Structure formats: C-alpha cells, structure tokens
Amino acid sequence: MGDLDGKVAIVTGSSSGIGEAAARSLADAGASLVVNSSSSVEAGEKIAASLPTDSIYVQADISDEEQDRALIATTLDRFGKLDILVNNAGWTTRVDHADHEALTNDILFKTFEINVYGTWWLTRAAMPALRESEGCIVNVTSIAGLRPLGSSLAYGMAKAALNSFTEDLARYCGPVRANAVAPGLVATPWTEDWDDLHGGMEMINPMKRSATPEDCAQAIMACVTNTYMNGTIMKVDGGTTLVL
C-alpha cells in the first residue's frame, strides 16, 4: 500500500525531465496519473503505459485556455476526481540578461503564455475539483524567481510571478494547499547542450553538480505528502543561491 493510494494526479509537461520523474514518484506511491505534454505524444503514452497504477496520457498545450479546460474535463471523466496538480510545464530560451534588445516580444510573450498564463488557466479550471478533494498544488518554479539568475530576464520574471501566485493560493484557497519547488539548473533533455552552465555549477555549487530530475521529484513529493506544508517555496539548488 502506498501513501497516495486512491489519489489522482495531473503532472503537466511530464513526457521527460522533472515532470516524468515526478509522475513516476507519484505513481510509485500509489497515485493514478494523468501524464501530459503539448507535443511529445509517443513519449507521453509510453510513460503512462509504464506506470504501476491506472494512468493515462492526455495531450494538451497549457498555453491554450480551452485545452486546459479539456485536460481537467478528461481527468474528471476518467477518474471522477482530482487530488494533486503539479504545474511543471514550462518554456525558456537563453538570452543574456543585459541584452534587452535580444529579449524580443515573441520570446517575452511565449515565456509568459506558457509559464504564467497557462499555469493560471489550468489551476483555475482545476480548483473546483481540488476544493472538493481538499487537494494540493505544486508549482515548479525556479531560483530565477528569487534571484536575478536563470536563462533570461523573462524567465526570471515569469517564475517570480509563479512564486507569488503560489503564496496567494496558499493564503486564500485553503484547505487546498499550494507550494512551489524552485530548482536551480537541472540536467534534463532541455538543458543537455548547456555545457557551459553545467560546468559552472561543478565549479561553484557546494554540491559540485547540477540538480537531477529525481532531486526535484523528491521535493515535489515532500510538498504533496506533508499535509501541513502550505505556501512554501522550496529551493532545490544545492546551495547555488548561497554563493551567487
């Protein structure tokens, strides 16, 4: 028997990286999973099929409000409830923080549409079901939302918004709990060619490495399973913010 037997969870952006690791950890604890991605359908279907619990894959682009509503509707049609929402899906691209001309409107708008607007729309659609189950929300943010770090200024702005959103949810939406996991640099398929940044982590980070998806999944699980944790922004950065 697992701690999450009978629970139903959605993990957005869970066809690889942090989302996949979180989905696997939740399923190993007994939760049924809705695996999601915007485009990696085959990978998402394989992950859902490989989980030890009754789980499904649903394709949805969270930057589209109608698709967010459909994702929640599909979940409720299939499982009849929703207990856990992990808002992990996100997007970024590297832009020098000092080069404001390089931060085009297209990059700025896409960063906010996926990281902020999509998270808001999906959370709003999920809230009635989460209130009914007295469930929980975990937002995957970043230390870039706490310090002037990260892949771009736009990314830091977006993640700071999500940290603020998390605290607002925690204060006003109880007994639904809301917490955030704020990683530093994570070794995922998205960052596999960021050799200079990973090398920098090896030099300055007290742990001498970047985070792994599993490091982040462990923090997500703590936010889910500790039923008194609410409004916490949990750094998973190996001490990066202590030295930068």
**Residue 228 annotated as catalytic:** no
Catalytic residue among 117, 155, 172, 228: 155
Q: Which residues contact residue 57 at a Cβ distance below 8 angstroms, ignoring those fewer than 6 apart?
A: 34, 35, 36, 37, 41, 44, 45, 47, 48, 49
**How would DSSP label each residue in 61-80?**
-TTSHHHHHHHHHHHHHHHS
Closest to 157 in 3D by CA, of 166, 147, 167: 147
Distance CA 239, CA 244 (A): 9
Half-sphere exposure of 181 (CA within 13 A, CB side): 28
CB 43 within 8 A of CB 19: no
CB 180 within 8 A of CB 232: yes
Structure-token match 């808002």, residue found: 87
Q: What are the catalytic residues?
A: 155
